[in-house]
Amino acid sequence: MGSDLSRGKTLDDAPGIVGVTKDELGPLPDDLLERPEAAKANPARWFERPSHPLEIEVGPGKGGFLVEAARARPGHNFLAIEQDPDVYFYTADRVRRHREAGVMSNVRVLRGDAVAYFKWRLEDSCVYAVHLYYSDPWPKRKHHKNRVLQGGFLADCWRVLRDGGELRLATDHDELWAFYEQQFRTWCHGVPVGFQAAPFTLADLPRMPAAPEDGLIVSNFENKFKERGAIPRGAILRKNGAAR
Protein backbone atom coordinates (compact mmCIF):
# COMPACT_ATOMS: atom_id res chain seq x y z
CA MET A 1 0.00 0.00 0.00
CA GLY A 2 1.31 3.43 -0.86
CA SER A 3 1.52 6.11 1.77
CA ASP A 4 -1.72 8.00 2.44
CA LEU A 5 0.44 10.92 3.56
CA SER A 6 1.87 11.15 0.06
CA ARG A 7 -1.66 11.43 -1.32
CA GLY A 8 -2.40 14.59 0.63
CA LYS A 9 -3.67 13.31 3.98
CA THR A 10 -2.22 14.51 7.24
CA LEU A 11 -2.01 12.83 10.62
CA ASP A 12 -4.90 15.01 11.80
CA ASP A 13 -7.27 13.56 9.19
CA ALA A 14 -9.81 11.14 10.62
CA PRO A 15 -11.31 8.65 8.14
CA GLY A 16 -15.00 9.36 8.62
CA ILE A 17 -15.76 9.23 12.33
CA VAL A 18 -13.43 6.31 13.00
CA GLY A 19 -10.13 8.05 13.72
CA VAL A 20 -9.67 9.81 17.06
CA THR A 21 -8.85 13.47 16.40
CA LYS A 22 -6.43 15.69 18.28
CA ASP A 23 -9.36 17.71 19.59
CA GLU A 24 -10.90 14.58 21.07
CA LEU A 25 -7.58 13.52 22.59
CA GLY A 26 -6.81 16.96 24.00
CA PRO A 27 -3.41 18.49 24.78
CA LEU A 28 -1.01 17.36 27.46
CA PRO A 29 -0.59 20.01 30.19
CA ASP A 30 2.79 21.70 30.54
CA ASP A 31 3.00 20.66 34.19
CA LEU A 32 2.25 17.00 33.47
CA LEU A 33 5.17 15.73 35.56
CA GLU A 34 3.88 17.65 38.57
CA ARG A 35 0.27 16.58 37.95
CA PRO A 36 0.41 13.14 36.29
CA GLU A 37 -3.34 12.67 36.69
CA ALA A 38 -4.14 15.86 34.77
CA ALA A 39 -4.35 14.26 31.33
CA LYS A 40 -5.87 10.92 32.32
CA ALA A 41 -9.39 10.23 31.07
CA ASN A 42 -11.76 7.45 30.09
CA PRO A 43 -11.88 7.05 26.28
CA ALA A 44 -15.45 5.77 26.58
CA ARG A 45 -16.49 9.33 25.70
CA TRP A 46 -15.35 8.72 22.11
CA PHE A 47 -18.01 6.08 21.51
CA GLU A 48 -21.72 6.20 20.74
CA ARG A 49 -22.44 3.96 23.75
CA PRO A 50 -19.94 5.00 26.42
CA SER A 51 -21.35 2.63 29.04
CA HIS A 52 -20.25 -0.46 27.11
CA PRO A 53 -17.10 -2.35 28.23
CA LEU A 54 -13.92 -1.08 26.56
CA GLU A 55 -11.32 -3.29 24.90
CA ILE A 56 -8.03 -1.91 23.57
CA GLU A 57 -5.86 -3.50 20.90
CA VAL A 58 -2.21 -2.40 20.74
CA GLY A 59 -0.93 -2.60 17.17
CA PRO A 60 -3.93 -3.87 15.14
CA GLY A 61 -1.93 -4.58 11.97
CA LYS A 62 -4.41 -4.83 9.10
CA GLY A 63 -7.30 -5.16 11.54
CA GLY A 64 -8.03 -8.89 11.25
CA PHE A 65 -8.60 -9.49 14.95
CA LEU A 66 -10.17 -6.06 15.45
CA VAL A 67 -12.86 -6.61 12.80
CA GLU A 68 -13.76 -10.12 13.95
CA ALA A 69 -13.84 -9.20 17.64
CA ALA A 70 -15.93 -6.06 17.11
CA ARG A 71 -18.46 -7.96 15.02
CA ALA A 72 -18.61 -10.81 17.53
CA ARG A 73 -19.07 -8.47 20.53
CA PRO A 74 -21.28 -5.56 19.42
CA GLY A 75 -21.98 -4.78 23.08
CA HIS A 76 -18.31 -3.85 23.64
CA ASN A 77 -16.34 -0.81 22.46
CA PHE A 78 -12.96 -1.32 20.76
CA LEU A 79 -10.11 1.17 20.60
CA ALA A 80 -7.15 0.26 18.36
CA ILE A 81 -3.87 2.14 18.83
CA GLU A 82 -1.43 2.21 15.92
CA GLN A 83 1.74 4.27 15.56
CA ASP A 84 2.61 3.64 11.90
CA PRO A 85 0.70 6.17 9.75
CA ASP A 86 0.12 3.86 6.77
CA VAL A 87 -1.16 1.05 8.98
CA TYR A 88 -3.32 3.51 10.92
CA PHE A 89 -5.02 4.80 7.77
CA TYR A 90 -5.44 1.28 6.38
CA THR A 91 -7.10 0.03 9.57
CA ALA A 92 -9.28 3.10 10.03
CA ASP A 93 -10.44 2.95 6.41
CA ARG A 94 -11.24 -0.75 6.74
CA VAL A 95 -13.37 -0.02 9.80
CA ARG A 96 -15.02 2.91 7.99
CA ARG A 97 -16.12 0.64 5.13
CA HIS A 98 -17.70 -1.79 7.58
CA ARG A 99 -19.36 1.11 9.34
CA GLU A 100 -20.85 2.41 6.10
CA ALA A 101 -22.25 -1.07 5.53
CA GLY A 102 -24.17 -0.70 8.78
CA VAL A 103 -21.93 -2.59 11.21
CA MET A 104 -19.08 -1.87 13.62
CA SER A 105 -20.12 1.49 15.04
CA ASN A 106 -18.25 0.32 18.17
CA VAL A 107 -14.67 0.86 16.88
CA ARG A 108 -12.32 3.85 17.00
CA VAL A 109 -8.68 4.02 15.90
CA LEU A 110 -6.05 6.21 17.56
CA ARG A 111 -2.77 7.10 15.89
CA GLY A 112 -0.01 7.21 18.50
CA ASP A 113 2.35 5.43 20.85
CA ALA A 114 0.31 2.94 22.89
CA VAL A 115 2.87 2.70 25.71
CA ALA A 116 2.81 6.47 26.21
CA TYR A 117 -0.98 6.55 25.91
CA PHE A 118 -1.37 3.96 28.66
CA LYS A 119 1.09 5.81 30.90
CA TRP A 120 -0.18 9.37 30.53
CA ARG A 121 -3.73 9.24 29.16
CA LEU A 122 -5.72 6.32 30.57
CA GLU A 123 -7.50 6.63 33.89
CA ASP A 124 -7.59 3.82 36.42
CA SER A 125 -9.84 0.76 36.06
CA CYS A 126 -11.55 1.80 32.83
CA VAL A 127 -10.56 -1.08 30.51
CA TYR A 128 -12.16 -4.51 30.21
CA ALA A 129 -9.39 -6.14 28.15
CA VAL A 130 -6.08 -5.29 26.46
CA HIS A 131 -4.97 -7.20 23.36
CA LEU A 132 -1.33 -7.45 22.23
CA TYR A 133 -0.96 -9.83 19.29
CA TYR A 134 2.14 -10.50 17.19
CA SER A 135 4.00 -7.50 18.52
CA ASP A 136 7.36 -6.56 16.96
CA PRO A 137 9.88 -8.97 18.58
CA TRP A 138 12.83 -6.58 18.24
CA PRO A 139 15.20 -9.58 17.98
CA LYS A 140 18.54 -7.78 18.39
CA ARG A 141 19.58 -7.63 22.04
CA LYS A 142 20.29 -3.89 21.89
CA HIS A 143 16.68 -3.36 20.77
CA HIS A 144 15.02 -5.49 23.48
CA LYS A 145 14.22 -2.29 25.37
CA ASN A 146 11.76 -1.45 22.58
CA ARG A 147 9.57 -4.49 23.24
CA VAL A 148 6.11 -3.47 24.44
CA LEU A 149 5.78 -5.90 27.35
CA GLN A 150 8.19 -4.16 29.75
CA GLY A 151 7.60 -3.72 33.46
CA GLY A 152 6.29 -0.17 33.08
CA PHE A 153 3.67 -1.22 30.52
CA LEU A 154 2.60 -4.17 32.66
CA ALA A 155 2.19 -1.86 35.64
CA ASP A 156 0.09 0.50 33.55
CA CYS A 157 -2.02 -2.41 32.24
CA TRP A 158 -2.68 -3.48 35.83
CA ARG A 159 -3.67 0.09 36.73
CA VAL A 160 -6.06 0.70 33.81
CA LEU A 161 -7.72 -2.75 33.82
CA ARG A 162 -10.77 -3.24 35.97
CA ASP A 163 -10.57 -5.99 38.61
CA GLY A 164 -10.55 -9.32 36.76
CA GLY A 165 -9.74 -7.56 33.48
CA GLU A 166 -7.42 -9.31 31.06
CA LEU A 167 -4.24 -8.64 29.12
CA ARG A 168 -4.28 -11.08 26.19
CA LEU A 169 -1.06 -11.93 24.35
CA ALA A 170 -0.05 -13.97 21.32
CA THR A 171 3.20 -14.42 19.39
CA ASP A 172 4.84 -17.02 17.17
CA HIS A 173 8.36 -15.70 17.77
CA ASP A 174 10.29 -18.11 20.01
CA GLU A 175 12.62 -15.53 21.55
CA LEU A 176 9.81 -13.09 22.24
CA TRP A 177 7.80 -15.87 23.89
CA ALA A 178 10.79 -16.66 26.11
CA PHE A 179 10.91 -12.96 27.04
CA TYR A 180 7.17 -13.09 27.84
CA GLU A 181 7.78 -16.10 30.07
CA GLN A 182 10.35 -14.11 32.03
CA GLN A 183 7.71 -11.44 32.60
CA PHE A 184 5.18 -14.08 33.65
CA ARG A 185 7.56 -15.26 36.36
CA THR A 186 7.74 -11.75 37.79
CA TRP A 187 4.17 -10.54 37.25
CA CYS A 188 2.16 -13.74 37.64
CA HIS A 189 4.25 -15.87 39.97
CA GLY A 190 6.22 -13.21 41.83
CA VAL A 191 5.66 -9.88 43.59
CA PRO A 192 7.12 -6.87 41.73
CA VAL A 193 8.29 -3.78 43.59
CA GLY A 194 5.32 -1.69 44.69
CA PHE A 195 2.89 -4.63 44.96
CA GLN A 196 1.78 -6.75 47.90
CA ALA A 197 0.98 -9.87 45.85
CA ALA A 198 1.23 -11.14 42.27
CA PRO A 199 -0.52 -8.54 40.05
CA PHE A 200 -1.85 -11.11 37.55
CA THR A 201 -2.91 -14.73 37.33
CA LEU A 202 -1.84 -16.64 34.23
CA ALA A 203 -4.07 -18.68 31.92
CA ASP A 204 -3.94 -20.09 28.40
CA LEU A 205 -5.32 -18.04 25.52
CA PRO A 206 -8.21 -19.93 23.88
CA ARG A 207 -8.55 -20.07 20.10
CA MET A 208 -10.99 -17.59 18.59
CA PRO A 209 -13.96 -19.32 16.93
CA ALA A 210 -13.11 -17.61 13.61
CA ALA A 211 -9.41 -18.59 13.77
CA PRO A 212 -8.02 -21.40 11.61
CA GLU A 213 -7.78 -24.81 13.26
CA ASP A 214 -4.04 -24.52 13.95
CA GLY A 215 -4.16 -20.82 14.84
CA LEU A 216 -5.19 -18.71 17.83
CA ILE A 217 -6.66 -15.50 16.49
CA VAL A 218 -7.60 -13.95 13.16
CA SER A 219 -4.35 -12.28 12.12
CA ASN A 220 -2.48 -11.65 8.88
CA PHE A 221 0.80 -12.02 10.82
CA GLU A 222 -0.27 -15.40 12.16
CA ASN A 223 -1.31 -16.66 8.73
CA LYS A 224 1.89 -15.42 7.10
CA PHE A 225 4.34 -17.00 9.51
CA LYS A 226 2.32 -20.17 10.15
CA GLU A 227 3.08 -21.12 6.55
CA ARG A 228 6.78 -21.04 7.49
CA GLY A 229 6.30 -23.42 10.41
CA ALA A 230 5.95 -20.85 13.20
CA ILE A 231 3.97 -22.00 16.23
CA PRO A 232 1.53 -19.48 17.75
CA ARG A 233 1.49 -19.26 21.54
CA GLY A 234 -0.80 -17.22 23.71
CA ALA A 235 -1.56 -16.29 27.30
CA ILE A 236 -4.02 -14.35 29.42
CA LEU A 237 -2.86 -12.22 32.34
CA ARG A 238 -5.90 -11.61 34.56
CA LYS A 239 -5.74 -8.66 36.97
CA ASN A 240 -5.61 -9.38 40.67
CA GLY A 241 -7.18 -6.23 42.11
CA ALA A 242 -5.96 -7.01 45.63
CA ALA A 243 -2.29 -7.02 44.62
CA ARG A 244 -1.59 -3.45 45.75
| pLDDT over 70 at 3, yes or no | no
Residue 182 lies inside a defined structural domain of this protein? yes
Residue 221 lies inside a defined structural domain of this protein? yes
pLDDT of residue 1: 37
Say how far apart CA 217 and CA 109 lie, in whole Å: 20
Residue 244 lies inside a defined structural domain of this protein? no
Residue 117 lies inside a defined structural domain of this protein? yes
- In sequence order, the β-bridge partners of residue 31 are none
> Structurally, how many domains does the chain consist of?
1
Residue-wise pLDDT tens digits, 196-226: 999 999 999 999 887 777 778 877 665 565 5
Say how far apart CA 232 and CA 222 lie, in whole Å: 7
Residue 147 lies inside a defined structural domain of this protein? yes
Total H helices, total E strands in the chain = 7, 7
Residue-wise pLDDT tens digits, 182-203: 999 999 999 999 999 999 999 9
Domain holding 132: CATH number?
3.40.50.150
Q: Which residues contact 173 (CB under 8 A, 6 or more apart)?
A: 137, 139, 230
Residue 86 lies inside a defined structural domain of this protein? yes
Q: What is the span of the domain harbouring residue 83?
A: 5-239
Residue-wise pLDDT tens digits, 80-114: 999 999 999 999 999 999 998 888 899 999 999 99
Residue-wise pLDDT tens digits, 128-177: 999 999 999 999 999 999 999 999 999 999 999 999 999 999 999 999 99
- Residue 143 per-residue DSSP state: G
| Residue 147 main-chain phi, psi, to 5 deg | -65, 140
Active site residues: 136
